[in-house]
Structure 1
Amino acid sequence: MEQLLATFIAWFLHLDVHLVELIELHGNWVYLILFLVIFIETGVIVMPFLPGDSLLFIAGALAAKGLLDPLTLCVLLFIAAVAGDSLNFSIGAWFRRKALDTSKIPFVKAEHLQHTHDFFTKHGGKTIILARFVPIVRTFAPFVAALGAMPRRVFLTYNVTGAFLWIGSLIAAGYLFGNIPWVSRNLTAVVMGIVVISILPALAGWLRSRRLA
């Protein structure tokens, strides 16, 4: 387990290098790999730790180098993000119909659900859009929305809008800024910065809740 964790951390910290390796080894099949990573990260509630924001940024940077086609990248990953959230919502709706206690769902930590529920309660429907930019929260938001009986048509509107903004903005950021010399030389630091910035809203909300407790 420790070796697996170390391998995952090393892969994550050097995502740019490994993504180039995947392109060299598998060619156009890398689009399917990227599709599956985004689909699983957004669609499978027990997989919130997969790289999302950083993967999109680096994919955009590689597209600027001509290693990936930006239009194909945007279209496929947009579809993956919409399909992932839709699957997640459907799973949540199934659990709601079965009237299960959410704190007893296997492999799902109750505190993650509670944090996402609080976030959802505060921001309403636009949480589905905002959650796209917050790791972990984006994986749980569709599930909690379904548990809260959000109409599927309403959810789909927020789902599509959020996916468009998330995929488009991060790939565009990578495309425009990923190959600036300073950014290229410090890409690992930039990726970690993206992760830190992404989790700041969740951290701020947790700190506020602790002060109010």
Structure 2
Amino acid sequence: MGFINFILELLKNPRAAIAGWIAMGVAPTLGLIFLIIFIETGVVFFPFLPGDSLLFAAGLFAAPDTSTGTAALPLAFLLPVVWAAPVIGDQCNYLIGRFFGRRIIESGRVKAMTPERIAQTEAMINKWGPLAVFLGRFFPFIRTFMPFISGISGMRWLRFSAFSALGGLTWSTLFTLLGYFFGNIPFVQNNFELVIVAILLISLLPTIIGLIRMKFGKKSESPQQIEQGGQSHTATA
């Protein structure tokens, strides 16, 4: 229950969570930020961790305070941590998929890995190739499944690593600097929870649209497939 409450509080208010960590010191805070981003990216069982909002909140604490001119988290220390976590996490997840992926899927233990999400991830890989590894980094759930599915599919490690590193560095830098530059704006400070919800919704929107298109696309294709099947049967006869 303790871990579940920790995750729920982190999802609800990452700013308050980081503020509590900072009371323990800069090093433990950076360690926890690294750990959460690494787990979201590197362990296929935890796709629901709030990577985007955590980076934004961390960037906020790296911005100098308007009254004192100092920052709770030095940006020079924060950036290397958030750069390393997704890159190392992707490598871990790729290797899990490469060596244990089929067994994990067949076991059904990863409830978040629904057939629709697997199909969407595989469709991105089929359409974009290794570029899908870069693009998938910006979609919650997909960024956790992408390296895993890449490992299963047999994508070459060098190609995967290049696009994975590029995606991880771009994603972590973008969301951290968004918090750094915009987190201290009074509107953002006064409506931080709403901003976090907006970030989550914007991040999830492409995934939701993709799932809807996939679902209705299958329905619209069904009559065509039936017709093609009938024509094939007639030709065979």
TM-score by length of 1: 0.91
Q: Which range moves more in the overlay, 110-119 or 134-143?
A: 110-119
Alpha carbons 1:93, 1:146 under 8 Å: kept:
yes
Gaps of 5+ in 2: 65-70, 219-237
Structure 2 residue identity aligned to 1:184: Q
Structure 2 residue identity aligned to 1:81: P
| Corresponding residue for residue 176 of structure 2 | 171
Structure 1 residue identity aligned to 2:40: E
**Structure 2 CA distance, aligned partners of 1:6 and 1:37?**
15
2:205 to 200, 208, 212: 200
Please give the residue correspondences for 1:1-213 in structure 2 after superposition, counting only pairs within 5 Å.
8-65=7-64, 66-95=71-100, 100=102, 103-108=105-110, 109-111=113-115, 112-213=117-218
**Structure 2 CA distance, aligned partners of 1:92 and 1:207?**
26
Gaps of 5+ in 1: none
Runs of 4+ in 1 over 6 A off after TM superposition: none
Higher relative contact order structure (alpha carbons within 8 Å, sequence separation ≥ 6): 1
Deviation per residue, 1:41-84 (Å, 9 max, x gap): 10000011111000000100110030101121111111111000
Alpha carbons 1:102, 1:110 under 8 Å: kept:
no
**Structure 1 CA distance, aligned partners of 2:104 and 2:20?**
40
TM-score by length of 2: 0.82
**Structure 1 CA distance, aligned partners of 2:3 and 2:24?**
22
Q: Per the alignment, in what secondary structure is the counterpart of residue 154 of structure 2? A: coil
